[in-house]
Chains A and B, each alone.
Chain A
Amino acid sequence: MWIARELSKCSGCRRCEIACSLFHEKRIWPEASRIRIFMLAPGVEFPHFCAQCEDYPCIEACPTKALSVSKETGAVLVDANTCVGCGKCIEACPGRIPHMHPTENRILICDLCGGNPQCVKVCQEGLWGVLRAVPRRTHPYKLYARIPEEIARDLAAKILGEEGEHLL
């Protein structure tokens, strides 16, 4: 499966971060959420999370083989016991999406909640229409793995117009 995204509609409510951290950490813990809302300028909020590149460069780069692809969902799975938190996957990711757990020495990457992504659930429930779970088909998913600055620049131009880029 894949999560389709309509970034410019993001309200910045962060209910996805809350749902994600409650599901994975049993706490409200924005920094430990696998999906993160960046707000490099107000009004230009967007969710940043794994795009599941078809060639999975993060898995390629992992020296301890802590990362693998879920056969059911296509999500990247992190083996917490094998991960040494070296950060090689962050460097390999075209969007610098993986990030370190705030208190433990391991990497966090969206695992699609095993097929029932909580972020999609709350985003749908709230009718913001940013995140939607869709079947995975042939597609250059890598396009969606871009660094926050790049995404913010494009969105600022789209949402705020000419002035947008100056406000980052």
Chain B
Amino acid sequence: MCGYAGKFLEIDLSTKNVKEMRFNEEVLRDYVGGRGLAAKILWDRLGNRWETVDPLGPENTLLFLTGPLTGFFPGGRICVSGKSPQSNGVVGSTVGGEFGIELKCAGYDGIIVSGESEKPIYLFIKDGDIEIRDASHVWGMDAKRTVATLTRECRTILKQRYPLKGEWKEPAILYIGPAGENKVRTAVVAAKWSHAAGYGGYGAVMGAKKLKAIAVKGTGPLPEVADIEAVQRLMQEVCNNAYENESWRRWGTGSGGYEFGAMTSSEPVRNWQEEWHNEKSFGVDKFENRVWIKQYWGDFGCPTTCLKLAVVRFGQFKGAITDNPDYELQAYLGTNLGIFTPEANVYMASVIDDLGLCGIQTGNVLGFVAELFQRGILTKEDLDSIEPKWGDAEAFAVLAKKIAYREGVGNILAEGTYRAALKIGGLKGVDVMPYAVQVKGIGVGAHGIRSGKDYPHICSYVCSVQCGDHTSVAYMPLDEPNSEHIRIFDDSGVICFFNTFGLPSNLVFDFYKAVTGIELTKDEWVSTKAMKIIQLQRAMLLLGGPDLKWNPEIHDDNPPRFYEPLPSGPFKGKTLEKARVDEEKRKYYALVGWDERGIPKSDILKKLGLHDVDKALEKLR
């Protein structure tokens, strides 16, 4: 089938058995790739025992999946998925870099990893040659040293094995840092130094499987496409659109820390106690002129190159190197911790990246702890002598290290905001859930909804099948450009959402046709295929287990904080009304075919051909 390499790699780390497998064309047509295909694979393999599957146990299946548009649509990404140790459902988490392209050039559309290894290993894939290699020498290494060591090692192997080929380019590497190794639920699957598949906590799944990294070098071309001229024309159209949007290219979302956040009053400040600040010291000009040393940085084929490289050259945080901070990390490792200087923010981001933690999820849990400290619920004694005062980057960095290594109080915080809140609430005999800004186990992205000026709606997180994920929010109407039903296409074709900004919404479907030869309209996508993926993800989220289960009547809700009035800024006093949220929620349920309790109804599941899902959900009805 055009656009696909044609086969998947399947590896059982318990038995070290490696084989190739294929999906029939119908499955690929229905689920496309990436997030869609992940939902299908996970349901087929684990669906009948979903509630007993421990995300951090050997039975969990970890997926690294490309989509048909990967490599063709400008900007390279790959989708990581599995049963999430955060939500206990399925999250399609994508990460930028060259991994997806190298994998396709090696002849594979994806990698399916099951079982768990006894000893630390990494996979080295060179076209059809698959090696399971010892990783004990890189186990424990931080992000930068892991990348440096494995890049050197793999290039040496390639040069020795194929001396006549000339100089070998480095392989693409996905890996985990210490946080993943220690099964921290906020650990990422990382690429380069700081690119991360953050939502979902799949770094912990890699760690549980003792899979430190996957390195891949493919020497083949990208797969055949149905119409190369149309693909080239569309590529140019995407590029031209990007070139016209110079402010987006120049600043990306990195302009957000002051400009966007202040404008929309939707940025977390001190664990969301506020969503507005007036610290101009945190403006994009400060970042640009003080720490950004590379103005344009991007991944495979990207015309936008919205990433930046930042280095702190002097002062207290000298030597900190990291790629962003983009809007999310400026918020979560900046404003949300009361940090308002670029240098401290870059330092926090570099610490988090080196440890292999998620900037959003860890920033969320650190903000939560700092508020508990502010309120005197947690004391210096509870926190191993650390005092997480707002703005104290050093203190937050020490806490982050404790989380990554599960030391002392870090062992509780390593469970993520929701689970930590349950634990701390129990230990202290105080309900701390009002300070946990999360939805169904996933810390909410840095886009508040109280002001009504940002893009998520009042039910966006409530109804999303990826919970607090700000890149996949529920919307009405379902075919709105930001809607989860549309975004699932990016995550399934596996392309970069940021390169779709400003393009007509049917362009990605034209692109899909040019690559695969298959006609797909937006309406068809939204009403059938996206709908099917949504139902699968919703079913697995609700089945949950084994440690947590979600009851939509309780857990399909915004964090309590969002019902408090905004205390400052131009939208001071604005808040959400619970009755309005419930009304919207009911409307959304009806629109996507869920009953009044939020459980997918039989008729829609049967209409979509999901009879087994219907049967499995019987027990919840």
Contacts and interface: CB of A to CB of B under 8 A. Distances in A.
Interface string B293-328: 110111111110100010101000001010100000
Nearest to B231: A28
A15 B303 contact: yes
A125 B298 contact: no
Contacts of A48: 167
Most buried by B among A11, A48, A87, A167: A11
Contact of A18 (B192, B293, B301): B301
Contacts of B165: 99-100
Given A13-B303, A30-B101, A30-B105, A128 B296 contact: yes
21 contacts: A11-B305, A15-B74, A15-B303, A21-B221, A27-B228, A28-B72, A30-B169, A40-B170, A41-B147, A42-B193, A42-B323, A43-B309, A43-B321, A90-B164, A90-B167, A96-B166, A97-B166, A100-B166, A125-B243, A160-B311, A168-B148
Interface of A: 9, 11-15, 18, 21-22, 25-32, 36-43, 48, 85-87, 90, 96-100, 102-103, 125-128, 147-148, 159-163, 166-168
Which of the four size classes fits the interface of chain B? 35 or more
A12 B298 contact: yes
A103 B220 contact: yes
B151 interface: yes
Given A36-B169, A87-B166, A100-B166, A159 B293 contact: yes
B228 to A, nearest CB: 7
Interface in B546-579: none
Interface string B225-247: 00010001000000100010000
Contacts of A96: 166-167
A126 B239 contact: yes
Interface of B: 71-72, 74, 98, 101, 105, 144, 147-148, 151-152, 155, 163-167, 169-170, 192-194, 218-222, 228, 232, 239, 243, 293-294, 296-303, 305, 309, 311, 313, 319, 321, 323
A27 B72 CA distance: 10
A160 B144 CA distance: 13
Nearest to A31: B219
A11 B170 contact: no
Contact of B321 (A25, A38, A160): A160
Contact of A29 (B193, B220, B296, B298): B220
A163 B301 contact: no
Given A13-B296, A160-B293, 12 more contacts: A12-B298, A14-B98, A15-B74, A15-B303, A27-B228, A39-B169, A90-B167, A100-B165, A103-B219, A163-B311, A163-B319, A167-B321
Contacts of B192: 42-43
- Nearest first, the 6 closest Cβ-Cβ pairs linking A and B are A99-B166, A29-B221, A42-B192, A27-B221, A102-B219, A11-B296
Contacts of A15: 74, 239, 301-303
Most buried by B among A39, A98, A162: A39
B169 A100 contact: no
A92 B219 CA distance: 24
Most buried by B among A41, A97, A126: A126
A41 B151 contact: yes
Contact of A12 (B72, B144, B232, B299): B299
A125 B239 contact: yes
Nearest to B320: A163
A99 B243 CA distance: 32
A161 B294 CA distance: 13
A42 B166 contact: no
Nearest to B309: A43
Contacts of A36: 169
A120 to B, nearest CB: 15
A154 B14 CA distance: 43
Contacts of A12: 297-299, 305
B169 A38 contact: yes
A98 B71 CA distance: 25
B562 to A, nearest CB: 37
Contacts of A128: 296, 305
B164 A126 contact: no
Given A12-B297, A42-B192, A126-B303, A27 B222 contact: yes
B232 A22 contact: yes
Most buried by B among A11, A32, A42, A97: A42
Most buried by A among B166, B294, B301, B313: B166
A45 to B, nearest CB: 8
Nearest to A22: B232
A97 B321 CA distance: 30
A42 B169 CA distance: 13
A9 B298 CA distance: 12
Given A29-B220, A168-B148, A85 B297 contact: no
Given A42-B192, A96-B166, A102-B220, A13 B294 contact: no
A147 B167 contact: yes
Nearest to B293: A159
Most buried by A among B167, B296, B299: B167
B303 A25 contact: no
A119 to B, nearest CB: 13
B242 to A, nearest CB: 8
Contact of B323 (A27, A39, A43, A103): A43
